[in-house]
Amino acid sequence: MAKRLQVILQDPDYLEIQRMARLRRMSIAEWVRQALDVARRREPLGGIGKKLEVIRAAAKYEYPVSDIGGMLAEIEKGYLPDAPE
């Protein structure tokens, strides 16, 4: 179900949004919906506690890695089509 949102803006702010919407050949409403969508996606989904919990859980395991020189050599090898082993 769609909901209506009313936002009161000062004239300079409204005119700036109107100008930006026109440049993109869209309505002000569409420009605002897209701007809100971008802002919403930038917000973190979980709290810091959840993020720390995930990091602590991952840190309990040992993952196979080589030293930095070995990793860089493997990366470089992947860029070359027929690199000798």
**Domain residue ranges in the chain:** 11-79
The DSSP output letter for 4 is: -
Residue 47 has pLDDT above 70, yes or no: yes
Report pLDDT for 85. Answer: 59
Mean of the pLDDT values across residues 41-45? 82
Mean of the pLDDT values across residues 41-66? 85
User: What number of helices (H) and strands (E) belong to the chain?
Assistant: 4, 0
Residue 25 has pLDDT above 90, yes or no: yes
Report pLDDT for 84. Answer: 60
Helix, strand, coil share (%) of the chain residues, nearest 5: 60, 0, 40
**Please, what is the average pLDDT of the chain?**
89
